[in-house]
Amino acid sequence: MNIEQVNLGDRSYPIFIGKGSSSEPQAITDSVLGNDVLVLTNETVGPLYLEQIKASLPDKNIVTFSLPDGEQEKTLKNVHKVIHHMLEAGLGRDATLISLGGGVICDMGGFAASIFMRGINLIQIPTTLLAQVDASVGGKTGVNNSYGKNLVGSFYQPSAVICDTAFLSTLNEKEMSAGLAEIIKYGLIHDTKFLSWLNDNIQNILKHDRAALGHAIQRSCQIKSEIVSADEKEQSIRAILNFGHTFGHAIELQTGYSDWLHGEAVAAGMVLACKLSAKMSLISKEEVEMVKDLLTKAGLPIEPPDINTNDFINAMKSDKKVKERKIQLVLLQKMGEAFLTSEYSEEDLLEVLGG
Ligand code: NAD
Ligand code: GLY
């Protein structure tokens, strides 16, 4: 088991990475405070892994709550149901909430933990590749509503993240590819060496090769930790973690949070961000093609769905980075370096969205 660290002073926490890490006492038992535990999961992940988590905590009073599966379930209404269940079970301020699931469950579990009794101990146990490399780390929690993605939420750090790579064995190929979108993102915004390693190892990751998968998760968590440790509440550099996301969130909103996986929408969004960066002569057209090839090798879409350009722009305006009503975008300064800007021409943006 490898351990990475998010450095936030007295709120610093470890990320345990490795096969079987969720059964390691150092990772799970030591991170639970008090006797009462709520494990939040969903109808897909619960039947696969809930008993295993319970068995790792034999001396605790474990209450469970399972939600229906799907991004469309990431709602305030469901967080309310979780809170009610905890109150009905008599849990108090000394309880620990464990999220056991993908990014949807981690985001909702994190949000519920942040508001229950003004904040209780939280452990994230992500079970998708996407959640292990991104959603479970860094303390962003929240839910969607009809106005857009993640518009209600909080910054609330867990006391531990446990990335058990054994859980990924039941994940389908499409979900593995969705996770790869966020992994490729880290290479594009921060580390060209990692990007070229990914180019050589993408098939091994998709084949669940233990060493390749382990390295991809570890390097991604290192990059995310470094950025979050420098800017926890997204006052500056953390915004680059949203590379491709303003476009991607618009795709998700326009397709009703159901047809496109988050990682797929981010992949198509990253291509649009690269195309705009190339229009501004920051990167070359060849580099855009290289990004498209890498995403294609990862099994990801490189074109957005057919959305009317005005609808696309309107959906992008619901992004949290909008400032003085202008959409701010994360673009590439060069390969391996991203920046947040509102200094782009509307004409270029319209052209990129128009094809
Ligand atoms: P998800 O949580 O919907 O999981 C994808 C699917 O895989 C679901 O059907 C789920 O039930 C299933 N699943 C989960 N683990 C499984 C396993 N081990 N075996 C078999 N099936 C399994 O989606 P996701 O891609 O994990 O996360 C996407 C969400 O994460 C989005 O809501 C996105 O906004 C959020 N996110 C948050 C952050 C953050 O920093 N908080 C970062 C990135 C993404
Ligand atoms: N996924 C973007 C962030 O955590 O800031």
How many Å apart are CA 70 and CA 167, to the nearest integer?
Answer: 18
At 69 the pLDDT is 97
Is 118 inside a domain boundary? yes
How many Å apart are CA 189 and CA 62, to the nearest integer?
Answer: 41
Is 218 inside a domain boundary? no
Is 155 inside a domain boundary? yes
> How far, in Å, from the CA of 90 to the mean position of ligand 2?
33
Same-domain status, 76 and 201: no
DSSP result, 206-218: HTT-HHHHHHHHH
Q: How far is the CA of 65 from the CAs of 85, 125, 161, in angstroms?
A: 7, 15, 19
Residue-wise pLDDT for 66-123, tens only, equals 999 999 999 999 999 999 999 999 999 999 999 999 999 999 999 999 999 999 999 9
- Which of these three, 170, 194, 219, is where a domain ends? 170
Residue 276 structure tokens? 């705009």
Cβ 130 under 6 angstroms from ligand 1: yes
Is 6 inside a domain boundary? yes
Same-domain status, 162 and 185: no
Same-domain status, 162 and 244: no
At 355 the pLDDT is 57
Indicate the SS3 state at residue 294: helix
Same-domain status, 165 and 179: no
> How far, in Å, from the CA of 98 to the mean position of ligand 1?
15
Same-domain status, 164 and 182: no
- Neighbour order of strands in the sheet with 13-18: 2-6, 13-18, 160-164, 121-126, 96-101, 36-42, 61-67
Residue-wise pLDDT for 5-25, tens only, equals 999 999 999 999 999 999 999
Domain count within the chain: 2
Same-domain status, 258 and 140: no
Residue-wise pLDDT for 174-195, tens only, equals 999 999 999 999 999 999 999 9
- Closest C-alpha to ligand 1, atom 42: 135
Same-domain status, 340 and 273: yes
At 126 the pLDDT is 98
- Closest C-alpha to ligand 2, atom 5: 241
DSSP result, 81-143: HHHHHHHHTT--TT-EEEEEESHHHHHHHHHHHHHGGG--EEEEEE-SHHIIIIITSS-EEEE
Cβ 101 under 6 angstroms from ligand 1: yes
Cβ 134 under 6 angstroms from ligand 2: yes
Q: Domain with 322 in it: what CATH number?
A: 1.20.1090.10
Is 224 inside a domain boundary? no
- Which of these three, 170, 190, 221, is where a domain ends? 170
Nearest to residue 182, comparing CAs of 99, 100, 261?
A: 261
At 323 the pLDDT is 78
Same-domain status, 118 and 186: no
The answer, as to whether pTM is greater than 0.85, is: yes
Q: 140, 236, 240: which to mutate for ligand 2, most atoms within 8 A of CB?
A: 140
Same-domain status, 157 and 185: no
Indicate the SS3 state at residue 289: helix
Rg (CA), the chain: 20
Query: Residue 196 corresponds to which amino acid?
Result: S
Is 339 inside a domain boundary? yes
Is residue 147 within 8 Å of 153, Cβ to Cβ? no
Same-domain status, 13 and 125: yes
Query: Residue 188 corresponds to which amino acid?
Result: L
Ligand with an atom nearest the CA of residue 106: 1
> How far, in Å, from the CA of 88 to the mean position of ligand 2?
33
Same-domain status, 17 and 162: yes
> How far, in Å, from the CA of 232 to the mean position of ligand 2?
10
Is 213 inside a domain boundary? no
- Which of these three, 116, 141, 170, is where a domain ends? 170
pLDDT in tens, the chain (355 residues): 999 999 999 999 999 999 999 999 999 999 999 999 999 999 999 999 999 999 999 999 999 999 999 999 999 999 999 999 999 999 999 999 999 999 999 999 999 999 999 999 999 999 999 999 999 999 999 999 888 889 999 999 999 999 999 999 999 999 999 999 999 999 999 999 999 999 999 999 999 999 999 999 999 999 999 999 999 999 999 999 999 999 999 999 899 877 899 999 999 999 999 999 999 999 999 999 999 999 999 999 999 999 999 999 999 988 777 777 789 999 999 999 999 999 999 999 999 998 5
Q: Domain with 112 in it: what CATH number?
A: 3.40.50.1970
Is 216 inside a domain boundary? no
Same-domain status, 131 and 275: no
- Closest C-alpha to ligand 2, atom 3: 241
> How far, in Å, from the CA of 59 to the mean position of ligand 2?
35
Cβ 242 under 6 angstroms from ligand 2: yes
At 319 the pLDDT is 76
At 88 the pLDDT is 98
Range of the domain at 201: 175-207+233-353
